[in-house]
Structure 1
Amino acid sequence: MKAVVKHEREKGARLQTVDIPKINDNEVLIQVKATSICGTDVHIYTWDEWSQSRVNPPYVFGHEFAGVVVEKGKNVTNLEIGDHVSAETHIVCNQCPQCLTGKFHICENTKIIGVDTDGCFAEYVALPSQNIWKNPESLSFDVASVQEPMGNAVHTVLAGDVAGKTVAIIGCGPIGIMAVGVAKAAGASQVIALDLNDYRLDLAKEMGATTVVNSRNENPLDVVHELTNGHGVDVVCEMSGHPIAMNQGFKMVTNGGRVSILSLPVRPVEIDVTNDIVFKGITVQGITGRKMFETWRQVSGLLQSGQVDVEPMITHHFPLEDFEKGFELMIKGKCGKVVLHP
């Protein structure tokens, strides 16, 4: 099969021919119909500090996808040939204290598809059946392929109550843009989207942001102060990973508010803990992955109900062979979500 391979410990990747994966008794083989590019994939492609310390080429990367089951192991009872599926990308151990208490999303032995194992930038991918999420056939493969990152947005926004509250989304990459739609659907009174990229701020506006702020042109703290009558926002969802933006998030949140952090800063970030956390009495949450499978049910419900429409932020489609075009758009920030078709 053809696949996009992280071939060496350097920038870039190659389209190569590799063996179709073999499945064991507890796995299924899936024909990939659509696979979307994630920020994590960009880290791997550009070979930044995080990827240099984490991944071990050569291997097939990519982890967001939708496809059809074409083969299943003899122990698989929850799926049938022909089922339309996506996948939870955290492969968990089922044995650590977190797994044994139902907190699978923070399993201490997690392996991530396309990071620690072969991924889905390919014509076929083999995965444990317990990781598979069955999709309705009415759901397009393109939309189905972005459920995994949408789950990140849902987990971040809905980690606390947002109904009737003011919410700031800092960082309007594709997950941040989806977070805007989720916050709006969940009843936020204001959704303030902040970024440096006008293209993506326009997408955030289309997804329901009540105010968009280009932090290069306006002081976000002044804007938030005015919009909230000086009180600050109730909820901050930090999606940027930039030290300055993260500090602004802690300063703009109201006393007793919540800051949920999904972003992955590449270096330690200095925060004024005394004044921006302790004296304000705020709640700070680290968000990783999706709750298995509570978040998936929420994502599916939001999509099927039509309360969140992710179509506006799926902006580009390419055949798998043109993966480099998709990555370049992601690097330049001139896109929403890019979907590749094997």
Structure 2
Amino acid sequence: MAKDNLSAVLYGIEDLRLEQRSIPTPKNDEVLIKVEVVGICGSDVHYYRYGKLRYKEVKKPMLMGHEASGQVVEVGKNVTHLKIGDRVAIEPGIACGSCNFCKQGKYNLCLTMQFCATPPVDGNLTRYYCHSARFCHKLPDNLSFEDGALLEPLAVGVHGCRRGKVTVGSVVLIMGAGPIGLVTLLSAKSFGASKVIILDLVDNRLQVAKQLGADYVLTIEKHMSEDDIVRKIQKILGESPTISFDCSGSEICVRIVLKVTKRGGTAVLIGMGKLEQTVPLSTALFQEIDVIGGYRYCNDYPTAIEFLKTGRINVQPLITHKFKIEDTLQAYETAISGKDNPIKILIYPNKDRYPAIFS
């Protein structure tokens, strides 16, 4: 067994350090994973910059990372569905399985959820990591470790589309063409949406959205008012969207979603913004719009895997940057600066498998 377990650990605001940690031993219901790919998420960047997110604050050193895949190298004695050598995607939230939410099949709402890189729980940006076998999903042979790491954000898009009941013929609006907006686009098209329009401030993200199958894109310019944007959306689509997603968390985007959604339609809120916002709820009342929250994912990894396995979704165009774990700080600074237009940044803890990338 290797002894090198280089790990990326956050000690406080902008205090991210690389250090050696001992390689853990899996408990009876766990597997030990040689981590191959870890993506950087907006929440990771928020913890790095501010030391907290919503009610969660970094009060002790925390191992970063939650979008990950790897290979099983050891199994606990109670694990029967996985074996050494299996390639897996790590679903980062470990639900208790016994609370009322878990029993109802809504384990993403579990009140005792242990979620990677959410204080005080350690993440998986490390060479070797133990995780509950219940939340490790075996990767089909035709999927890469990169696909496996990107299953985490993709599952968010799948969950949002399920919450909004996107189906054949749906007319969809997506506010925000960041990683979550783009995976929501991919999911909506895979669920059968007939028309999808996506909006953002950044042109290069909208170009990627076109590549991924968006029917229409619209750049939001600073001089545009909310009503200007609403009218442009309706003009481009030729109608109002039946299902609208806010994937930005921005107050103005939530307001636009509530104003533009078709009477009797659905507004799905996925982006995390300010805790309190001023939004036109009366519009939702008069138009009888269903306002729905979409929180992470719940039983969505199998669908996301099937979308990738069958080729209905390709997440590779989302990948813009690749770093060795030794260059983790540079990866985070790239995410913050926006240099070279990052969308999805990947870190490779065990670079020996990727000589072509890091030669």
Instruction: Normalising by structure 2, report the TM-score.
Output: 0.90
1:288-307 mapped onto 2 (5 Å cutoff): 288-292=295-299, 295-307=300-312
Q: Which of 180, 185, 198 pairs up with 1:180?
A: 185
Q: Which of 43, 46, 52 pairs up with 2:46?
A: 43
Say yes or no: does 1:91 pair with 2:94. yes
Superimposed CA distance per residue, residues 239-292 of structure 1 (whole angstroms, 9 cap, x where no aligned partner): 100111111111111111111111111331111211x21111011111112122
Is the contact made by 1:185 and 1:308 (CA closer than 8 Å) also made in structure 2? yes
Is the contact made by 1:255 and 1:282 (CA closer than 8 Å) also made in structure 2? yes
Cα distance, 1:51–1:258 mapped onto 2, change above 3 Å? closer
1:9-20 mapped onto 2 (5 Å cutoff): 10-20=13-23
Mapped to 2, the partners of 1:129 and 1:341 lie a distance apart of 22
Superimposed CA distance per residue, residues 31-78 of structure 1 (whole angstroms, 9 cap, x where no aligned partner): 001111111111111116526743333020110111000111111111
Mapped to 2, the partners of 1:166 and 1:55 lie a distance apart of 41
Say yes or no: does 1:224 pair with 2:233. yes
Say yes or no: does 1:146 pair with 2:153. no
Superimposed CA distance per residue, residues 186-232 of structure 1 (whole angstroms, 9 cap, x where no aligned partner): 22121111111112111111111111111125542121121243x42
Is the contact made by 1:319 and 1:341 (CA closer than 8 Å) also made in structure 2? yes
Mapped to 2, the partners of 1:94 and 1:66 lie a distance apart of 23
In structure 2, stretches of 5+ residues that fail to align are 350-359
Q: How many residues in Structure 1 have an aligned counterpart in Structure 2? A: 337
Please state whether the residue corresponding to 1:267 is helix, strand or coil.
Answer: coil
Say yes or no: does 1:80 pair with 2:80. no
Say yes or no: does 1:319 pair with 2:324. yes
Give the counterpart letter for 1:115 in structure 2. T
RMSD: 1.6
Q: Which of 95, 110, 113 pairs up with 1:110?
A: 113
Please state whether the residue corresponding to 1:209 is helix, strand or coil.
Answer: coil
Partner of 1:121: 125
The answer to which of 215-224 and 125-134 deviates more is 215-224
Cα distance, 1:106–1:52 mapped onto 2, change above 3 Å? closer
Instruction: Normalising by structure 1, report the TM-score.
Output: 0.94
The answer to which of 210-219 and 261-270 deviates more is 210-219
Say yes or no: does 1:24 pair with 2:11. no
Partner of 2:10: 6
Is the contact made by 2:202 and 2:219 (CA closer than 8 Å) also made in structure 1? yes
Give the counterpart letter for 1:21 in structure 2. P
Mapped to 2, the partners of 1:30 and 1:254 lie a distance apart of 47
Partner of 2:73: 70
Q: Which of 195, 198, 201 pairs up with 1:190?
A: 195
Partner of 2:172: 167
Give the counterpart letter for 1:287 in structure 2. G
Partner of 2:357: none
Q: Which of 286, 295, 300 pairs up with 1:279?
A: 286
Identity over aligned pairs, percent: 32
Mapped to 1, the partners of 2:220 and 2:276 lie a distance apart of 22
Q: Which of 346, 350, 353 pairs up with 1:339?
A: 346
Mapped to 1, the partners of 2:56 and 2:189 lie a distance apart of 37
Give the counterpart letter for 2:348 in structure 1. H
